[in-house]
Structure 1
């Protein structure tokens, strides 16, 4: 329907232009004299050009969008180069170009008024200074040209698909585990490995701290010195990160912190998993490696705060995780009594659950949050307040004060 109205409008303007030419000619013929013919001949070039513009095939204009890369981090700038190529050198007075950007970019379409003249190739650049997190698609470009009189306008919307992925911003952090789980039970430790007591790979001299059960009695009798079994060391610190995806003004900070902490954990050599629940549940198993980090970051780039239930309800539906020997970290901006109770219940199975409470840069905790933090400590739940732009303090024993 819109295209039909545009065609009718274009045809009507073309008819009006022809009528004006005929009227100018008739006026010169009947009036005669220098002035009337001067007006006719002065108007005639503009009219001929307008007619030529109306016949100009704007569909022949080819459009290319060049992007420097297709993967960015949130906050990075994007410089885009638009190239318009024509098959002929017909002199165009102007071309109005508008790149119709995706709504997810949260910025209006970029516009430019170009004066190509006889040029077959026209280039213009524009930039977006602060890319938001997400997957963004550039669908089409709108072109518009016309004559000097404004009588004729030709418009075209050309498809030119491009896609970029903007990963969440992250902060370089030094991850220090709050605790590790050993085969003999739970103990507080900042070590990154544990000994697998089921696989002895040799013997060594006794060292202070070695367990009595590790002593190799045969080797001790032969050497007349206390010798202990040497066990294979294996990675044991597994972390499951749960991101609260309920609608929240600080959600972007939550995502950024989640990206920072998962990257720091994997960089430390431990393994990490991620759980998010939006309109759909997404769970990434506990693994390590660069490809696993890439999968998590790709998911975090697209996740949106559309979860209809609170994070404690999400944990309630994930009961099967209680059977795994992992450390759980919950990233949220809302601390409630129900969340503390649920985290305490999970802590009885895991030994410790840590809640990271995200706050604005200079925001202080409320009295209710301070009270809930105290309740959490008595129930074995660690609550750590993390301010935006200060993520590196998350593992430096920063607590609610």
Structure 2
């Protein structure tokens, strides 16, 4: 609109200059017309043959990993870009070291801003270190480019639809340290302890430990030796295990979601999956958590293939801290698919009456149930006859701090290569 007004003013000046034989007005009007036409030309062709490209060293990582991130802008034409601003939506879960980010408050998407200029056939690149600060399916883009002519008459914008995604896997902690820390507080090296033992296959006796179930105590042997003795059973080698992760962190929907509790649950689920994969178990995932950008709850069928851990980790990475239904409703469909002898590991930060009834129903169908409770303190409702491991304080104090790494021996390459 402004350029059109200038063009009209210039035309009037040229007309008056011709009528009045005023050379100055004629020259001034002609210059303004040339400037206006140049601005129009700039507006039309500014972003022709201009390309924007992002390069990320890898698109899958763990929390705390650092990635190489490069932004490239190319101008493959004669017309230069006197100035150009780039604004790229950047997720909060990724940190860009040395970059200028706008909207760093409570906004979910910040703007990565770059201001530069490009000569004809020039290419500029910016290299950064990207740190993965939070689990999730992080989307970068689309980018907005803004430029204008040299005279300041017009400005033009272009929105490029290309997107980049970074999948940050959940944190993984040593399950043995998480569940049985009091057995080796000094960090004594031991072999992996099985998550579940076959009670029909007696192996040996050993001294009682505080974490041992009372039902495993051999009272006759304890009387003979004058100290409590616990039965040791053969571990189940061909275990089939379903990880049931409860995304609900409060009893009522109006209470909202406790993000800290939810991250504990995800960390525990990932740790169980990593543990099962390392022992060659067949395992799967069922959860009422909603996957980002899909609106569907998470399910990974039981399997022991080399890609199983990757599938579970990807599902957990995309899990959002909200649910569309209760875990009880999800389990009603999943329990019908369980093979004989399967074990259900329930991971939850809240225990409700409905959840207790579902656990009882699963047990009545002949399946073993273990519970990893990720809330603070003891569960609100007692789970009679079910082995419950309270992991909330361990995850809070040592397992979910942003500065912690993953469990020893677990890397992105391991996950993708299994």
TM-score range, shorter chain: 0.5 to 0.7
Q: Which range moved further: 343-352 or 160-169?
A: 343-352
The 3-state SS of whatever aligns with 1:315 is helix
Q: Scaled by the length of structure 2, what TM-score is found?
A: 0.63
How far is the alpha carbon of 1:293 from its aligned partner? Answer: 1.0
Q: Does the 8 A contact of 2:197 with 2:236 survive in 1?
A: no
- Equivalent residue number for residue 86 of structure 2: 97
For 1:371 and 1:121, the matched residues in 2 are separated by 61
Match of residue 197 from structure 2: 180
**How far does residue 258 in structure 1 lie from its aligned partner after superposition?**
0.7
Give secondary structure in 1 for the equivalent of 2:372: strand
Q: 1:49 to 1:319 in 2, by over 3 A?
A: closer
* Gap change, CA 1:289 and 1:121, over 3 Å in 2: same
Indicate which of 41, 45, 51 corresponds to 1:62: 51
Q: Distance in 2 between matches of 1:325 and 1:44?
A: 85
Q: CA RMSD in A?
A: 4.2
Tell me which of 51, 71, 79 is aligned to 2:60: 71
Q: Residues 318, 159 of structure 1: CA spacing in aligned structure 2 closer, same or farther, 3 A cutoff?
A: closer
**What is the match of residue 216 of structure 1?**
none
Q: Is 1:331 the counterpart of 2:347 in the alignment?
A: yes
Query: CA 1:308 to 1:91, structure 2 compared with 1: closer, same or farther past 3 Å?
Result: closer
Q: Spell out the pairing of 1:213-292 with structure 2 (5 A cutoff).
A: 235-246=237-248, 248=257, 249=259, 250-277=261-288, 278=290, 280=296, 282-292=298-308
**CA distance 1:370–1:73, shift in 2 (3 Å):** closer
The aligned residue for residue 205 of structure 1 is none
Q: Structure 1 CA distance, aligned partners of 2:369 and 2:15?
A: 91
1:159 aligns with 2:161: yes
Q: 1:285 to 1:63 in 2, by over 3 A?
A: closer
**2: CA distance between counterparts of 1:283 and 1:15?**
59
Corresponding residue SS for 2:320: coil
Shift in alpha-carbon separation, 1:15–1:295, aligned structure 2, 3 A: same
TM-score (normalizing by structure 1): 0.66
Which sections of structure 1, spanning at least 5 residues, go unmatched?
1-11, 190-232, 393-401
Contact 1:65 1:160 (C-alpha < 8 Å) held by counterparts:
no
How far apart, in 1, do the equivalents of 2:205 and 2:269 lie? Answer: 23
Contact (CA 8 Å) 1:75, 1:169: kept in 2 or not?
no
- Asked if 1:382 corresponds to 2:371, the answer is no
State the Cα distance separating 1:321 from its structure 2 match. 6.0
Question: In 2, distance between residues paired with 1:320 and 1:96?
Answer: 56
Aligned residues: 330
Distance 1:305 1:72 in 2: 20
Is structure 2 residue 310 aligned with structure 1 residue 294?
yes
Conserved? CA contact 1:180–1:237, under 8 Å: no
Contact 2:246 2:327 (8 Å CA) reproduced: yes
State the alpha-carbon separation in 1 of the partners of residues 43 and 297 from structure 2: 55
- Kept in 2, the 8 Å contact 1:327–1:350? The answer is no
Which of 316-325 and 331-340 deviates more? Answer: 316-325
Contact 2:51 2:73 in 1 (8 A): yes
In structure 1, the residue corresponding to 2:48 is in which secondary structure?
A: helix
Report the equivalent of 1:340.
Answer: 356
Larger gyration radius, structure 1 or structure 2 = 1
Against the structure 1 CA distance between its residues 144 and 178, is the aligned structure 2 distance closer, same or farther, given a 3 Å change threshold? closer
Question: What is the CA deviation profile of residues 337-383 of structure 1, one whole-angstrom value per residue up to 9, with x for unaligned ones?
Answer: 33234324534555752221214xxxx42xxx4563xx32x433424
Q: For residues 87 and 124 of structure 1, what CA distance do their matches in structure 2 show?
A: 18
Number of the residue aligned with 2:187? none
Distance 1:97 1:318, change over 3 A: closer
Conserved? CA contact 2:247–2:262, under 8 Å = yes
Q: CA deviation at 1:71?
A: 1.5
Q: Which residue of 2 aligns with 1:124?
A: 126
Structure 2 contact 248–322 (Cα < 8 Å) conserved: yes
Instruction: Give the alignment partner of residue 84 of structure 1, picking from 29, 49, 73.
Output: 73
Closer/same/farther in 2, CA of residues 176 and 337 from structure 1, 3 Å limit: farther
Query: CA offsets, 1:86-142, max 9 Å, x none?
Result: 222433220111224579973223221112245621223456544543334445322
Taking the aligned partners of 1:284 and 1:186, their CA distance within structure 2 comes to: 34
Q: Deviations over 1:221-254 (max 9, x none)?
A: xxxxxxxxxxxx9824432211113363322331
